[in-house]
Structure 1
């Protein structure tokens, strides 16, 4: 009779290139999130908001090369990790995984309540609950179902939006919410913690209004996690390690298709339709291309010093994700240093790089004395039973 040992993956069992890619995706996520950290980004039309040339150029660079590409990458890595855990635990994994997703959900709720409205952990936990019951499927089934779940609703919605534009060219124009902008500047720029808390809840409700949260989870995040799980079950890492040059060519080809798609709002007009094409299709395609490229390079040059910061951050990604919110909100919000609304896109991007560097330094120091990050330790304590 097989005895299953519930223990976290040891450092020797980890895929170093997956940790490196996870750390790299955290940097991309922070660069995009920084727009929301230092300005009322969710309440204005970013295609027409910026007037200073360097801000327009920097935003366009972020929009094309980063925005909409790194959260899909992180979602796929999340599914990859769940599939690996399932392979280790098999029948015992669902009950364990439910507890693990429950703790992650709690982290996400606390993140929203205490720090920042742009949390992704709640969505990951909710999607993870569903994915747990699909991990018995083969790589081919996971891949096929992921494509169906993702493509059918997104193509349908895109087609509907296209028809709307045929009837009224201005119907899908993006507008600025003056009330939202003013409320954000007042609460985060000069308000106290209680006022920031109220605005944070308002921001979260605005971004997840109605059934948007569940629809986005079911038709975007869950299928991306399924793709990651399929990659793990199909031994994508083994393929890339054996075929690094071929994988680089695959990555370049896929990333090119995604990047061209992400130019659509700039080739035509920035509105709800073109933004959806950019984010729902261009972003994930570009993310898959990035994954092939990065993993191929990391597999071939695993010990290259440039990958070390990403690997360090990736090994304690939950702690780093929350730490980035702590540092950014402390820097920008009025109960901290109070720079909200006072920096441009260029400065904000440099600040993002600085915050990421501080997080890497923290991770290096922490991991020099511990095997996992502080929140990972709490997560483990609350989910892994003690083996007798």
Structure 2
């Protein structure tokens, strides 16, 4: 990296008074965006913790045990947070892209694209490291960076145009989800035909045998195989090399198949976030009445849809055959309820912030949001060291509800770490590395520093 002129972190000008691209200073940050981002970051761990501590087959297993503590905890997490925190994080990613590019265009003319794409390509690398070195199979950095590459040409659209883009992406995603549901029903119909022919003592073709096997596989997969779970637990309690090999195929699938299937999901929420930011929603610029309306509307429509989706998911696991006759599917309205509840959460946070009731809590959440990248990776480090075999080896040893005791501890670490760190430094450690690489200049990190 090269050296640079003396830069004022507050004004963004060089020692000779010329504009200079630099990261957002403390004065320029939008507090409510950092607060909402902090809550989204903490909330994402609520949904990630089962994948950190339990076999993949057990992700939805509490639905098979109505009345249990695990079921109650699962229901609360699903209805209030599942998909909503990720949707909220995606919205803020879109809003952040607008903040980033608008500032670069103000001070450097046409260099915004150069800075943005450099920033995103570094993020791709961070995502690969996060997934394949830190062994977090649920990494979102890689996927967000790839989606972000498509956003730049849309930055100057009006809010309504961005909202239209969001609706188009959402519609495409709904169609893709519903095609999967139609394929599910088609497999059952083919299975029924094969069984009917078999009962009539007619010889099945190779294709009909495959149809029968495909449905048998679906029914088998609806209930966790305890032997396979035990084998997976044993591997995850082993050394780093064994865990790497165990997760490698899933990592590859997540960075390929999931990205392909989830692209429209992420883009729809990013476009929605861009539109909401331009309307002033995230930056606390709207009347309180508007936030009350979005709170009531988001929760009033989104939460019932979320509860319905969980019920239908449960029916599919308990009785896949009966589920094929349902007139509505869990995927129908899934993205809509995620967006609505996410907007409701944001509205609630902004109203609490305006009330001034818990200023210390708001400041703590702001700190977490300002260091979201560092805290996201910190969550991975804490959880993998606690659950994996090269750490304490608690993988598969806790009940579902007990996983959230771990969440509470990690949240505490996030909050305390962020508060202490930002008293000394301007950025989180990974934010500083990322910004230095983006600008190809060593950025001042200590609060007293004024030179690059």
Q: Which residue of 1 aligns with 2:250?
A: 203
CA 242–236 in structure 1, closer or farther in 2 if over 3 Å, else same: closer
Aligned positions of 1:1-388 closer than 5 A: 4-41=19-56, 45-46=60-61, 48-50=63-65, 53-90=68-105, 91-115=110-134, 116-155=136-175, 157-158=177-178, 161=181, 164-165=184-185, 168=188, 175-176=222-223, 178=225, 181-189=229-237, 191-208=238-255, 211-217=257-263, 219-237=264-282, 240-268=284-312, 270=314, 271=316, 274-277=329-332, 279-301=334-356, 304-386=359-441
**CA apart distance, 1:162:** 5.4
Deviations 1:88-145 (A, max 9, x none): 1223211110100011111110000122111010111001111123213222211111
Deviations 1:320-377 (A, max 9, x none): 0000000001011111011110111221112101111112111111111100000000
User: Is residue 98–residue 155 contact of structure 2 (8 Å, CA) maintained in 1?
Assistant: yes
Q: Give me the whole-angstrom Cα distance separating, in 2, the residues matched to 1:266 and 1:379.
A: 38
User: Is residue 45–residue 176 contact of structure 1 (8 Å, CA) maintained in 2?
Assistant: no
Root mean square deviation of aligned Cα: 2.8
Deviates more, 1:107-116 or 1:273-282: 273-282
Q: Give me the whole-angstrom Cα distance separating, in 1, the residues matched to 2:91 and 2:228.
A: 32
Q: Which runs of 5+ in 2 are unaligned?
A: 1-16, 192-214, 318-327, 444-451
Q: Give me the whole-angstrom Cα distance separating, in 2, the residues matched to 1:42 and 1:278.
A: 25
Deviates more, 1:320-329 or 1:44-53: 44-53
Deviations 1:149-187 (A, max 9, x none): 112331453266258548848967662464863453122
With structure 2 as the length reference, what TM-score do the two structures score? Answer: 0.77
User: Is residue 44–residue 176 contact of structure 1 (8 Å, CA) maintained in 2?
Assistant: no
User: Is residue 40–residue 180 contact of structure 1 (8 Å, CA) maintained in 2?
Assistant: no
With structure 1 as the length reference, what TM-score do the two structures score? Answer: 0.89
**CA apart distance, 1:241:** 3.8
Larger Rg: 2
Q: Give me the whole-angstrom Cα distance separating, in 1, the residues matched to 2:78 and 2:274.
A: 27
CA 237–29 in structure 1, closer or farther in 2 if over 3 Å, else same: closer
**CA apart distance, 1:302:** 8.3
CA 269–303 in structure 1, closer or farther in 2 if over 3 Å, else same: closer
User: Is residue 183–residue 199 contact of structure 1 (8 Å, CA) maintained in 2?
Assistant: no
CA 328–225 in structure 1, closer or farther in 2 if over 3 Å, else same: same
User: Is residue 112–residue 119 contact of structure 1 (8 Å, CA) maintained in 2?
Assistant: yes
Q: Give me the whole-angstrom Cα distance separating, in 2, the residues matched to 1:326 and 1:20.
A: 23
Q: Give me the whole-angstrom Cα distance separating, in 2, the residues matched to 1:42 and 1:141.
A: 41
CA 192–89 in structure 1, closer or farther in 2 if over 3 Å, else same: same
Deviates more, 1:103-112 or 1:153-162: 153-162
CA 359–54 in structure 1, closer or farther in 2 if over 3 Å, else same: same
Q: Which runs of 5+ in 1 are unaligned?
A: none
User: Is residue 297–residue 340 contact of structure 2 (8 Å, CA) maintained in 1?
Assistant: no
User: Is residue 264–residue 274 contact of structure 1 (8 Å, CA) maintained in 2?
Assistant: no
Q: Give me the whole-angstrom Cα distance separating, in 2, the residues matched to 1:12 and 1:336.
A: 40
User: Is residue 174–residue 332 contact of structure 2 (8 Å, CA) maintained in 1?
Assistant: no
CA 322–112 in structure 1, closer or farther in 2 if over 3 Å, else same: same
Q: Give me the whole-angstrom Cα distance separating, in 2, the residues matched to 1:3 and 1:232.
A: 29
